[in-house]
Structure 1
Amino acid sequence: MNYWLVKSEPFKYSWDDFVNQGVGMWDGVRNYAARNNLAAMKLDDLVLFYHSNEGLEVVGIARVVKECYPDPTCEDPRWVVVDLSPVEKLPKGVTLQAIKTDERLQDMALIRLSRLSVQPVKKEEFDIIVAKSYEQ
């Protein structure tokens, strides 16, 4: 199993929007590195859902329910999408500041490649972030 992080601006598509939809097609990616990450996602991989621009925090966990296929929102076959389904809302959002100040997370793509909208996450990083969401 692989682990990932996807970013969404909550005023465009929030965690609550995602939950209400049930299954979300992750479309609109127009960055080659992010596209390659979408293409690498496999069925049942777990995905951290991050609110960007507003909130700046990981708010939930999703699961890949359909592997990559051509993006139906554009005519260029080079762009792909995956379908994600919500698994759980985290008890407490894990802020970017909390991630940046945790020495164990200093190599995360979220810090090193801050503009990348779809990025890999190591299992250890995933577990640390989920554990942080349960801290008081």
Structure 2
Amino acid sequence: MATFLLKTEPDVFSYGDLVSAKREPWDGVANPAAQSHMRAMREGDEAFIYHTGNERRIAGLAKVVRGAYPDPDFPGLTSKGDPKRVLVDVAPLREATTTYTLADVKADERFREFALVRQSRLSVMAVPAALAKVIRAKAGV
């Protein structure tokens, strides 16, 4: 099982919205690097939901309930024969019980090479197992 981090603007779609929806396609991801991570997501993987904007914190943990599939809003294939964009469906698992912020992540030397710190504009990223363990403990998920 792999772990990812999905960024969202809480004013647009929050972890609470995911809880209310019970299951939701993760859409709106256009960046090729972020799309690459989405293509790697499989059913059973987990994803931290990270609120951007003023919050900048881990809001909760979700489960990938459907792995990468073509985004119907962006039909067609790339030159490599892959769908232009993909979606994954996620469902909520646990809301964070402790506030674990971007400042906390940046203050921890173990995260110095983590994409959340090094590639601040990337909206979907893989989380190495050792770092996922730290985030789970610190955020209470």
TM-score (norm 1): 0.94
TM superposition shift of 1:88: 0.3
**Partner in structure 1 of residue 87 of structure 2:** 81
1:93/1:133 contact within 8 Å kept: yes
2:40 aligned partner, one-letter code: A
Alignment of 1:33-52 (within 5 A): 33-52=33-52
| RMSD, aligned α-carbons | 1.1
Task: Give the distance between the partners of 1:126 and 1:73, measured in 2 at CA.
Answer: 32
Cα displacement string for residues 74-133 of structure 1 (whole angstroms, at most 9, x for unaligned residues) = 334411100011110010121000000011111211001111000010111111011112
**Partner in structure 1 of residue 80 of structure 2:** none
1:41 aligned partner, one-letter code: M
Instruction: Give 1 or 2: higher strand fraction.
Output: 1
**Partner in structure 2 of residue 17 of structure 1:** 17
**Partner in structure 1 of residue 70 of structure 2:** 70
Task: Give the distance between the partners of 1:121 and 1:3, measured in 2 at CA.
Answer: 5
Task: Give the distance between the partners of 1:37 and 1:25, measured in 2 at CA.
Answer: 15
Structure 2 residue runs of 5 or longer lacking an equivalent are 77-82
Task: Give the distance between the partners of 1:133 and 1:70, measured in 2 at CA.
Answer: 32
**Taking every aligned residue pair, what percent have the same amino acid on both sides?**
38
Aligned length: 134
1:9/1:54 contact within 8 Å kept: no
SS at match of 2:43: coil
